[in-house]
Amino acid sequence: MESPLEQRWISGADTVPLDDRMLTHGLGVFETMLAVDGRLVRPRHHAERIADACARLGIDAPDWQACLEEIGHRLPGTGWHRVRVARSAGRGRLDRTAGEAPITLLSISPLAPPPESIRVITAPWQRNESSPLSAVKCSSYAESLFALDHARRSGAEEVVFLNTRGRLAEAATANVFLIRDGRFLTPPCADGCLAGTTRRWILETFPEQACEATLDPAETSTAEGVFLCSATRGPVAVSHWDGREIPVSAAFSGLKSAWLAALHGEDDGIFRYPG
């Protein structure tokens, strides 16, 4: 039964076939967007990313405008909400990623405002930067969920993965940034991280202060600060890493204030469905 706190529906279909490969094999992609007071935050960036992921897997991309219209009719006008768009690979052979009759699953659920800070640990597993699914937001999400459960059992809220070369890659559900000399440094996608939409916003909004850089985990001990960022949480300061206290820098506080202000801006990155 559908939770009264969450709306779930299928765009352009009545049911999900039991042989759809998103159900049987986790073959599909998804995007999770933030909505604040009835406004979707940066849907154009999400549209570009899901289209790229679909192209990489050979899946027909969803009709993004149709998704926005359906979401807009149902999105509450107040509060924070998580909006999820998932696209399945449909039915097909095991030796082909392309299939027939892909479906789009949509959901809206209430979302609490992000925490002020977060505790992280280093994952005991690696992100494979050479994987064909690297930088793809794939429906097969068990690895990240397993990692989050490990973090919880270890007294933390998130894990950060190293890649196969021992460099920083990403957190289970977020990108990672180090602050050094007032600059925001984040691993390049080639090091195994997802091209997050908030990560993109930071790189584009602060071009002289933010950049990609291959990062050694030892650099966290000398960084002025560390933060994670995701579409639904924005930038969140890391207070502890493997039990070691991490300072919160003035540069991060300014970044967080800019992100909060942008949520209520009028740029073309925010969509509100009329009516």
- pLDDT tens, residue by residue, 48-91: 999 999 999 999 999 999 999 999 999 999 999 999 999 999 99
Long-range contact list for 245-249, CB < 8 A, 24+ apart? Answer: 246/220, 248/117, 249/179, 249/182, 249/224, 249/225
162-221 pLDDT, tens per residue? 999 999 999 999 999 999 999 999 999 999 999 999 999 999 999 999 999 999 999 999
Q: Edge to edge, what strands does the sheet with 104-110 contain?
A: 7-11, 104-110, 80-88, 28-36, 39-41, 270-271
pLDDT of residue 130 exceeding 80, the answer is yes
Name the residue type at position 24.
T
Cα–Cα distance, 86 to 179 (Å, whole number): 33
pLDDT tier at 273, thresholds 50, 70, 90 = very low
pLDDT at position 4, please?
Answer: 55
Helices (H) and strands (E) in the chain, counts: 6, 15
Which pair of tokens denotes residue 146?
A: 């397993």
Domains in the chain: boundaries: 7-110, 117-262
Confidence at residue 7, expressed as pLDDT on a 0 to 100 scale: 84
- Report pLDDT digits (tens) over 221-245: 999 999 999 999 999 999 999 999 9
The larger pLDDT score, comparing residue 145 to residue 274, is at 145
Q: What is the pLDDT of residue 180?
A: 95
**pLDDT more than 70, % of the chain:** 94
Give yes or no for residue 262 having a pLDDT over 70.
yes
Confidence at residue 247, expressed as pLDDT on a 0 to 100 scale: 92
User: Tell me, what's the pLDDT at 264?
Assistant: 77
Instruction: Report how far apart, in Å, the C-alpha atoms of 51 and of each of 192, 256, 265 are.
Output: 19, 29, 26
Quick one: pLDDT band at residue 274, thresholds 50, 70, 90? very low
Residues 6 or more apart in contact with residue 67 via CB below 8 angstroms: 11, 85, 104, 106
In this predicted structure, what is the pLDDT of residue 19?
93
How far is the C-alpha of 41 from the C-alpha of 24, rounded, in Å?
A: 32
Question: Nearest CA to 105 among 36, 12, 2?
Answer: 12
Residue 150 vs residue 13, higher pLDDT: 150
Query: Which pLDDT belongs to residue 271?
Result: 45
Topology of domain 117-262 in CATH is D-amino Acid Aminotransferase; Chain A, domain 2 (3.20.10)
pTM across the whole model: 0.92
Give residue-wise pLDDT tens across range 30-50: 999 999 999 999 999 999 999
Give Cβ neighbours of residue 52 (< 8 Å, ≥ 6 apart). Answer: none
Q: Give me the CATH code for the 7-110 domain, please.
A: 3.30.470.10
Return the pLDDT at 9: 85
CA distance 30 to 54: 9
The SS3 call for residue 55 is helix
